[in-house]
Amino acid sequence: MKEEPLLSGIKEQQPDAPSRSRAACINLIATTVGTGVLSIPISFSYTGLIPGLVILCFFAYLSGASMRFIASASSRMHASSYADLGERVYGRSGRQLVLWSLLALLVGAVVQILICVVDLIEMLAVEAVGINISRERVTAIITLGAVPLCLPKQLHALRFLSSASVLAILFSVGCIIGLAVQGCLTAQNREHIDPQHVDDTYAVMLPPSVRWSLGIPIHALAFCSQFNINDLQNELPPLERPMLPAIVHTAIAIACVIYALVGTTGYMLLGARTVPNILTAFGDSQLVLAGSAALALVNILKLPLVVLPLRSLLLDLCAVPPLSTPMHVGVTAVGVALAGCAADVTRNLAFAFQVSGCTAGMMVCFCLPGALYAGAIRIERQRSGLLLMAETESPQLLIAPVGGSEDGRYCHSLYSREVAGYGMVTVGAVSGIICLASLLPR
């Protein structure tokens, strides 16, 4: 049985089964909202409430723009996938860069899921069962249990788990919002979170400092769903494809509201004691425990949805022929074990998002979309014979190239779009470098 390739070309959609815009919007929300929502509150503790909300909204807008860039560039280049777009714009090297970036992003996703599951199982063992078990042992048990789940080569039977995971997350964080409304945070719950802090109050705004950059990669990665845009666009009926920008902005806006509610609530409740995984701070709530148990179970079952494409992509990039059954089992076991070791070393969910967000996250979400969009626009200008002479000293040449005033306006529009693409590359690269520098030990 052949393993499914990641981001392969999409077959032509049958006219009798079109995907509706509303379903596409719900699908995009489900793939955007993930475990990153659990670390949004601690990102607010780095900046204060108001700057945190501003940064969150900024990256929401930027993520929506990058998704539109991918959709527009794919339409111009007739590309069926993210990797295909990279190849059509920059050749084989462009395809390789896209795939290696996605590989790094998937590695981070596996580690983040394992950290989240271990956090929740460790809390449930203490709060619900009364068993005090070491984190290393929990990680080992979860890792061993995940290996057989990741052995299948087909994903179809597990695709519903992405939506189930989102529902479990929304239920759990909804319980936290309910606690805030009722004012039911107990004194005992405050005391066991982080003894080194003595101040539970939240700050509306903290002075600008290097700590601000610690929250940026969490916000940037929170809206990471750029690699799904091509599939979404291909599944829409031709008459509904012009609605894709509205679908993207609606989904991003809803996700942003969810993140803002959870981040504001968690930070206002815990203040300086905000923890990397917000659910672990509410172990005395039976509803939160129930939601955490459901989320832990769903995320364990969801792990193959990330591991299988990761394995397929890695073997494809390394040009490895189809594996025998023993080799398939061995490669899977070693890969999951390495991810478990990385999760045990990292331990901090927010830190895992920060590392992934300022490296692969910035590349996949902003740098690559901007570069691919700018490259596609430049190719279109070359094909149209409307090359701008930006290097000359005559500004009139920018608005009056060969072909008359209409061509001039069109040429100027293309040039502006190309500049916008490179602008997104700059924002992503600079943000990633600054955030990565803030994570380095001093």
pLDDT at 399: 44
8 has a pLDDT exceeding 80: no
pLDDT at 385: 61
Please indicate, yes or no, if residue 380 is contained in any of the structural domains: no
Please indicate, yes or no, if residue 220 is contained in any of the structural domains: yes
Please indicate, yes or no, if residue 248 is contained in any of the structural domains: yes
What pTM value is reported for the model? 0.81
Please indicate, yes or no, if residue 33 is contained in any of the structural domains: yes
Our CA dihedral for 30, 31, 37, 39, rounded to 10 degrees, sits at 160
Please give the backbone phi and psi of residue 16, each rounded to the nearest 5 degrees, phi first. -85, 0
Please indicate, yes or no, if residue 54 is contained in any of the structural domains: yes
Mean of the per-residue pLDDT values for the chain?
Answer: 81
What CATH number has the domain bearing residue 323? 1.20.1730.10
pLDDT at 286: 82
pLDDT at 161: 64
Please indicate, yes or no, if residue 250 is contained in any of the structural domains: yes
Our CA dihedral for 306, 311, 313, 317, rounded to 10 degrees, sits at 150
Whole domain around residue 243: which residue ranges?
21-361
194 has a pLDDT exceeding 50: no
The candidate with the shortest Cα–Cα distance to 256, out of 27, 38, 33, is: 33
13 has a pLDDT exceeding 80: no
**pLDDT for 283-341, tens place per residue?**
777 878 888 888 888 888 888 888 888 988 888 888 888 888 889 899 999 999 999 99
Please indicate, yes or no, if residue 417 is contained in any of the structural domains: no
For 74, residues 6+ apart whose C-beta sits below 8 A from its C-beta are 80, 85, 229, 230, 233
Of 188 and 133, the one with more pLDDT: 133
Please indicate, yes or no, if residue 9 is contained in any of the structural domains: no
Contact assessment for residue 364 and residue 226, using Cβ atoms and an 8 Å cutoff: yes
Query: What's the structural domain count of the chain?
Result: 1
Other C-beta atoms within 10 Å of 167: how many?
15
